[in-house]
Structure 1
């Protein structure tokens, strides 16, 4: 005999979270192999892990009954050595989104504000709300760039952080070093600039080992990930460089054991394969350039991209293009009334995108 309890639901505290849906709600089952849909909607790298990384994964034992190192000490030291940072300036966590959550939890709280460009990474407003702060979106310029003067105008006494994404997701635009310096020079010292560099390896103009921003400014964080260029999205490993004070506080907010032993070892192995990684990145840049050229030949001109994706500013017809792509057997990401983001994929997937482009143009 079963029993059930009836009565009022538990009283839930009103929260900034109430304004948002869960991350990608309703997209479960998108990888159903039966539908033969090729997915270019998530900015994943379609190339298999580097051979040395695959070998490292094969060598990992079955001791999953044991907890991983809660500090991911080896990875943190390898990152510091590779980039020329101090270990006390290096923060690791479960993907760049996990590291960003750690940072926001120590940078802001109830009554504070965090600025970010929009459209942008869907998780920004959610992670800001989890911290208790209020997110303030600032529209991109017509060309898909950060409106840096407008962001500075929005800064006030309640502002605790500004998130800048370069190369920007979803438009692929980049913030030049001179523009970034001008912005940071005008940013009050009580505001931390979090520079989300998840796609930085694909930007041919950037030197990933240049940590000048955190050397010259105490209120800057460089946020990065192994999910994109390294192709380890499924293992959830991210990292950041910042002042020792920020890192010391942010480490206290990490979920215990959130970087698995598998993730740490794979990340360390990938970090040691710079020559192979450079070749992989060159391949993705070549495929990106070819996709941009082919779309342009079909009359759909992407904005210049420094990421592993291209952006078509299609405005009101964005969702129609995404529907055409799905009919052609490829999934892309539409931003209603703004544009379409297409991840760089295989040549087969790109052929389907071009078929969708032709249908879109003729429709």
Structure 2
């Protein structure tokens, strides 16, 4: 006979939710400029016109924001060539991951994704009372799409493909993605998480919009936090067939995307030429860093995001501590490796020197 609880208790799945670990800010080091390379933030200040648009929106803070995100949807629809009915906005693309799992998963349903991948996936799955099915990455940091396909069962409701993969860096190709989707039952939602798509420079790169157009079960998630430099405002969006996008909007938090965030996102879209020039600069720095690391003997995975991955195993904590000693913070994943963001130009040489001293 079960006993009556004596105090409120959260659901069991809530008690099992792992804690999200955010990137640490750098500690001051006398005589050194510190660099935060732990959160994949854009090191550039806001784009021209964005601050002005945000300040204008701040002047209306006594009013609720547009719950329908109308102007933002219109701007995205024009940029992407998709109908407004196929869009859903939220507080970052991570919120859309939470919403779609809430929308499509009953308790115990399975969600298949690569691992290691975005740290929020297992948290979002647990919050939805679903079950994570983690498929190990290949040794080169790429998704093992064949193994992910084999992991799909009759209980699978969602499959997530993170491309470029955070934190290891490689992207899948369009050919690989097409072949993978062809193996997935049509009632299973395939999520294409493209938080870093603006940084991709590779042959046969994925076209997320074309992929969603070709399938009734594909949802593409994107964000303004990375390339667009709006991490502090929290705005992302999904592109999906109208029934799926409508379901995401139905479970969204009312007034979730603030008026300031909407205004800043629209202004950032208008400033896209400047944005793309900055992204090109960061891609050039990425190439400089990857080349420098390989010159000192490191074999880092293909980097298609705004970060590089150091596979360090049990030396991960030691590497993070050594980085802090020279004024940079990285994002360690205990027992696995460390992710290092592409930051200011001066930080590139310091990371290469750290790698040279630490040894591979």
TM-score norm. by structure 2 comes to 0.92
Given the alignment of the two structures, is residue 101 of structure 1 paired with residue 65 of structure 2, yes or no? Answer: no
- For residues 195-232 of structure 1, the C-alpha deviation after alignment (integer angstroms, 9 at most, x for no partner) is 00000000024778751111111110110000000000
Q: Distance in 2 between matches of 1:40 and 1:30?
A: 8
- For residues 24-43 of structure 1, the C-alpha deviation after alignment (integer angstroms, 9 at most, x for no partner) is 27x7x736668864210111
Q: 8 Å contact 2:18–2:122 — kept in the other structure? A: no
Closer, same or farther: CA 136–146 of 1 in aligned 2, 3 Å: same
Closer, same or farther: CA 32–320 of 1 in aligned 2, 3 Å: closer
Q: Distance in 1 between matches of 2:237 and 2:273?
A: 21
Structure 1 residue 15: Cα displacement: 2.3
Alignment of 1:320-339 (within 5 A): 320-339=318-337
Unaligned runs of 5+ in 2: none
Given the alignment of the two structures, is residue 41 of structure 1 paired with residue 38 of structure 2, yes or no? Answer: yes
Given the alignment of the two structures, is residue 174 of structure 1 paired with residue 171 of structure 2, yes or no? Answer: yes
Unaligned runs of 5+ in 1: 1-7
Closer, same or farther: CA 343–130 of 1 in aligned 2, 3 Å: same
Q: Tell me the SS of whatever aligns to 2:49.
A: helix
Structure 2 residue corresponding to 1:144, chosen from 127, 141, 165: 141
Structure 1 residue 301: Cα displacement: 2.7
Given the alignment of the two structures, is residue 130 of structure 1 paired with residue 127 of structure 2, yes or no? Answer: yes
Range 225-234 or range 318-327, more displaced: 318-327
Alignment of 1:195-206 (within 5 A): 195-205=192-202
Closer, same or farther: CA 295–254 of 1 in aligned 2, 3 Å: same
Structure 1 residue corresponding to 2:86, chosen from 73, 89, 96: 89
Q: 8 Å contact 1:320–1:360 — kept in the other structure? A: no
Partner of 1:51: 48
Structure 1 residue 125: Cα displacement: 0.7
Structure 1 residue 335: Cα displacement: 2.0
Q: Distance in 2 between matches of 1:129 and 1:185?
A: 28
Report the RMSD for the aligned CA atoms in angstroms. Answer: 2.0
Closer, same or farther: CA 65–209 of 1 in aligned 2, 3 Å: farther
Q: Distance in 1 between matches of 2:333 and 2:139?
A: 15
Partner of 1:358: 356
Q: 8 Å contact 1:120–1:168 — kept in the other structure? A: yes
- For residues 49-90 of structure 1, the C-alpha deviation after alignment (integer angstroms, 9 at most, x for no partner) is 111223323433423122111111110111111101111111
Structure 1 residue corresponding to 2:20, chosen from 16, 20, 23: 23
Structure 2 residue corresponding to 1:275, chosen from 273, 276, 289: 273
- For residues 95-153 of structure 1, the C-alpha deviation after alignment (integer angstroms, 9 at most, x for no partner) is 00111111111111212110111111111111111112111111101111111111111
Q: Distance in 1 between matches of 2:302 and 2:27?
A: 32
Alignment of 1:98-247 (within 5 A): 98-205=95-202, 211-247=209-245
Q: Distance in 1 between matches of 2:58 and 2:266?
A: 16
Q: Distance in 1 between matches of 2:218 and 2:331?
A: 30
Q: 8 Å contact 1:161–1:191 — kept in the other structure? A: yes
Q: Distance in 2 between matches of 1:49 and 1:287?
A: 19
